[in-house]
């Protein structure tokens, strides 16, 4: 068979192109020099170059050695695209590399997600760092939340007492189901950190009591001060030692001293007909820390103050009070003004209005960095009912009030006059007080206005009539404050207005 085969040198390859060597099969000659390709059998996989192998291309003038005589009869090859001879049947020549070149498949580093190897390391480190920061922040947040949540003291005794007397308590009016009534009690206890304010006799009284009404639409808040010397009916209550008190007609702050929070709530509900939804009790230390947490509260003094009992000495004019000064300011009585409890309550209301204004104007409720110290100070000395005994409950309550306009945050004192049998005590002006209580029970609007001049005002600062915004006066003796028109149909009167102040009031006005 070898005698019939003529060894013919293949066409030399072009420079930098690989040459293919082949031997025509039996009976096959060189293909015509036309461009018509012939079909060849698919190249088997083993003929592919392996990664890392180096292939030498023949020199341009070198002859192509004949292929071994292993081609199958009848097989033929198509000419290579560059005009070189086709390979024998069943064999595929790997393309020759440039002399000295090495395949890059073995040395190239694969890329993932389109990023080089060194950049992937950087991304991984960044992701790991971010994860650590997120976990640390989450851990810190959880710690502070638990800390604040644990600060709050829950008044379970009062809750149990109120459940026992639930049948006698007033119910919420259908039109006021989403309104909230919260009783705020300032305790004058001398226990613990309050020892420097007086001797601890093992008892406490409600130095300040305010019934706070939050409208159902949360567009207004009205705080009604209840004088501690107001003569009221106090129900039979459970004392701390488990014994019960008798029913009595006495000054209001005796209820807190004898029967605690539950007795005070029941007394307020009996007096007003308003159901108390929640309560908060704050002592002297808690009040001081709250003021310091907002960097002080602004007040305006008409005259200088020098009160040794209240530990207070201030010049006249605008002042920013710290916690200790603020406590003395709201507690001082005999050394400021006429020394009456009425004037002291007026100062407390003005101060609370300024405190609310400070918290809203400084964005305290929207800034976690500023809000945390306030919550920490408040919760450390705060005792609440179970419904407000968590940080989430308190935060939701504060958040619901943050959009109340400052002019709609109002404070007033319940209409009262000197008690007929003891002018050092107070009693309600029934017609006016009932009108106020009805407005709150039905979640109806209430307005406040600055006090009248002394010659037009009753004794001890009482409100003797309800003024309408239009300048008219509703008749105190009428049943519902409305007058019938000519056809006999009642004509609604404007929103009743009481003597009081708001958070928007000018401090030095």
For 139-188, write each residue's pLDDT tens digit: 555 555 566 777 889 999 999 999 999 999 999 888 888 999 999 999 87
In terms of DSSP bridges, do strands 180-187 and 409-413 run parallel, antiparallel, or are they unpaired?
unpaired
Could you say which DSSP state residue 295 is in?
Answer: T
Distance, in Å, from the CA atom of 253 to the CA atom of 111, rounded to the nearest integer, reads 79
State the pLDDT at residue 392: 84
Max CA distance (Å), the chain: 150
Closest-CA residue to 354 (of 281, 301, 397, 423): 301
State the pLDDT at residue 29: 43
pLDDT in tens, 477-499: 344 444 455 555 556 667 899 99
Q: How many CB atoms lie within 10 A of CB 395?
A: 15
Average predicted confidence (pLDDT) for the chain: 73
Read off the pLDDT of each residue in 227-251 and give the average, rounded to a whole number: 94
pLDDT cut 90: percent of the chain above it = 36
In terms of DSSP bridges, do strands 422-428 and 416-419 run parallel, antiparallel, or are they unpaired?
antiparallel
Read off the pLDDT of each residue in 285-302 and give the average, rounded to a whole number: 90
State the pLDDT at residue 140: 52
Write b or e for each residue in 239-276: b if 16 or more Cβ atoms lie within 10 A of its Cβ, otherwise e.
eeeeeebeeeebbbbbbbbbbbbbbbbbbbbbbbebbb
Would you say 457 and 449 are in contact if contact means Cβ atoms under 8 Å apart? no
Distance, in Å, from the CA atom of 495 to the CA atom of 8, rounded to the nearest integer, reads 119
Would you say 40 and 72 are in contact if contact means Cβ atoms under 8 Å apart? no
442-446's contacts with Cβ under 8 Å and 24+ in sequence apart are 442/173, 442/175, 442/176, 443/173, 443/175, 443/176, 443/179, 443/213, 443/215, 443/216, 444/495, 445/220, 445/495, 446/220, 446/222, 446/410, 446/412, 446/495, 446/496, 446/497, 446/498
State the pLDDT at residue 56: 41
242 is written with which tokens?
Answer: 């488990």
Domain chopping of the chain, boundaries: 1-103, 154-449+460-468+493-502
State the pLDDT at residue 136: 58
Distance, in Å, from the CA atom of 280 to the CA atom of 301, rounded to the nearest integer, reads 29
State the pLDDT at residue 114: 61
Residue for token digits 């409100």?
A: 463
Binning pLDDT at 50, 70 and 90, where does residue 50 land? Answer: very low
Distance, in Å, from the CA atom of 191 to the CA atom of 153, rounded to the nearest integer, reads 16
Distance, in Å, from the CA atom of 166 to the CA atom of 233, rounded to the nearest integer, reads 18
Binning pLDDT at 50, 70 and 90, where does residue 334 land? Answer: confident
CATH superfamily of 154-449+460-468+493-502: LCP protein (3.40.630.190)
Could you say which DSSP state residue 297 is in?
Answer: E
> What Rg, from alpha-carbon coordinates, does the chain have?
47
Better-predicted residue by pLDDT, 26 or 349: 349
Would you say 71 and 109 are in contact if contact means Cβ atoms under 8 Å apart? no
Query: To 10 degrees, what angle do helices 156-164 and 254-272 make?
Result: 50
State the pLDDT at residue 92: 44
Strands (E), 341-391: 382-384
State the pLDDT at residue 146: 66
State the pLDDT at residue 203: 53
Better-predicted residue by pLDDT, 352 or 26: 352
Q: Read out DSSP for 29-90?
A: -PPPSSS-----PPPPGGGSPPTT---PPPPTTPPPPPPPS-PPTT---PPPTTSPPPPPTT
User: Could you tell me how many helices (H) and strands (E) the chain has, helices first?
Assistant: 9, 21
Is the pLDDT at 245 greater than 90, yes or no?
Answer: yes
5 is written with which tokens?
Answer: 């085969």
Is the pLDDT at 459 greater than 50, yes or no?
Answer: no
pLDDT in tens, 378-434: 788 789 999 988 888 887 888 888 889 999 999 999 999 999 999 989 999 999 999
Read off the pLDDT of each residue in 194-212 and give the average, rounded to a whole number: 65
Q: Which of 85-94, 281-290, 379-388, 441-450 bottoms out in mean pLDDT, i.e. has the lowest?
A: 85-94
491 is written with which tokens?
Answer: 């004509």
Q: How many CB atoms lie within 10 A of CB 409?
A: 22
């Amino acid at each position: 068979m070898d005698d019939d085969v003529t060894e013919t040198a293949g066409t030399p390859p072009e420079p930098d192109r690989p040459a293919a060597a082949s031997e025509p099969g039996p009976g096959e000659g060189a293909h015509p020099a036309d461009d018509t390709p012939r079909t060849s059998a698919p190249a088997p996989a083993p003929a592919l170059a392996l990664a890392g192998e180096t292939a030498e291309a023949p020199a341009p003038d070198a002859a192509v050695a004949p292929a071994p005589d292993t081609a199958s009869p009848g097989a033929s090859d198509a000419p290579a695209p560059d005009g070189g001879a086709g390979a024998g049947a069943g064999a595929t020549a790997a393309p020759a590399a440039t002399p000295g070149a090495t395949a890059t498949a073995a040395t190239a580093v694969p890329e993932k997600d389109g990023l080089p190897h060194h950049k992937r390391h950087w991304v991984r480190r960044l992701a790991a760092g971010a994860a650590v920061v997120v976990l640390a922040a989450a851990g810190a947040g959880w710690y502070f939340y638990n800390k604040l949540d644990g600060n709050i003291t829950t008044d379970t005794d009062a809750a149990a007492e109120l459940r026992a007397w639930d049948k006698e308590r007033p119910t919420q009016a259908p039109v006021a189901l989403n309104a909230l009534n919260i009783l705020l009690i300032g305790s004058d206890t001398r226990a613990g950190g309050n020892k420097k304010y007086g001797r601890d006799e093992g008892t406490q009284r409600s130095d300040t009591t305010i019934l706070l009404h939050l409208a159902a639409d949360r567009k207004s808040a009205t705080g009604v001060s209840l004088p501690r010397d107001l003569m009221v009916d106090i129900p039979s209550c459970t004392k701390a030692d488990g014994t019960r008190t008798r029913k009595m007609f006495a000054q209001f702050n005796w209820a807190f001293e004898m029967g605690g929070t539950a007795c005070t709530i029941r007394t307020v509900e009996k007096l007003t007909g308003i159901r108390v939804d929640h309560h908060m009790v704050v002592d002297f230390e808690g009040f001081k820390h709250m003021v310091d947490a907002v960097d002080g509260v602004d007040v305006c003094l008409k005259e200088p103050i020098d009160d040794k009992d209240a530990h207070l000495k201030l010049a006249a004019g605008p002042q920013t009070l710290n916690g200790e000064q603020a406590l003395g300011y709201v507690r001082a009585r005999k050394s400021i003004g006429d020394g009456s409890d009425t004037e002291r309550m007026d100062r407390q209301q003005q101060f609370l209005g300024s405190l609310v204004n400070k918290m809203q104007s400084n964005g305290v409720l929207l800034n976690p960095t500023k809000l945390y110290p306030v919550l920490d100070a408040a919760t450390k000395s705060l005792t609440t009912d179970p419904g407000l005994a968590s940080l989430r409950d308190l935060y939701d309550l504060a958040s619901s009030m943050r959009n109340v306009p400052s002019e709609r945050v109002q404070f007033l004192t319940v209409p009262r006059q000197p008690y007929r049998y003891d002018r050092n005590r107070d009693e309600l002006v029934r017609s006016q007080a009932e009108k106020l209580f009805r407005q709150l029970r039905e979640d109806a609007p209430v307005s406040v206005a600055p006090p009248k001049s002394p010659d037009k005002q009753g004794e001890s600062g009482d409100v003797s009539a309800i003024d309408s915004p239009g300048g008219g006066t509703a008749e105190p003796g009428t049943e519902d404050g409305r007058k019938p028109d000519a056809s006999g149909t009642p004509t609604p009167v404007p929103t009743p207005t009481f003597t009081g102040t708001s958070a928007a009031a000018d401090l030095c006005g």
